[in-house]
Amino acid sequence: MTLALFDLDHTLLKGDSDYQWGQFLIGKGLVEPEQYAAANLYFFEQYKQGVLDIHAYSAFAFEPLSEHSMAELAVLHREFMVSVIQPLITDAARQLVEQHREQGHTLMVITATNSFITRPIVEAFGIPHLLATEPKVVDGRYT
């Protein structure tokens, strides 16, 4: 079996899905804009420098998920996919994935971005396997 491993952000996407999700939340008025934008940029810069405090970041990233039902989040993510993510998917990325699929390779995305954000993106590529940060769910809600 040949395994084709892909990163998502700045690889299959011409941008960062996690950072863009934060910007999307700001644009929808679902988070306090100035404070959230500053924190989102701070964590994004930490990530780019390779010094991200994953625990602090996870608390920040998961908090907005905990404030909405799964149904509300699904609606938001569908809008996010259409308005933000689809424009970040290049023909070259689709062709690369398809090349590996045609060769019979097992396709997988590995990303530090959480599965709420990434699973629908990975599914849009038709990639069946995802290794991502998993937010905790209790009683049908993110915590």
**C-alpha angle with apex 99: 114 to 48, nearest 5 degrees?**
35
Q: Are 117 and 17 in contact (CB under 8 A)?
A: yes
CA–CA dist 29, 68 (Å, integer): 13
Whether 18 is a known active-site residue: answer no
Instruction: Note the Cα 102 to chain centre separation in Å.
Output: 26
Cα–Cα distances (Å) from 63 to 14, 15, 66, 143, in that order, read 26, 23, 5, 7
Q: Are 4 and 107 in contact (CB under 8 A)?
A: yes
The set of catalytic residues is: 7, 9
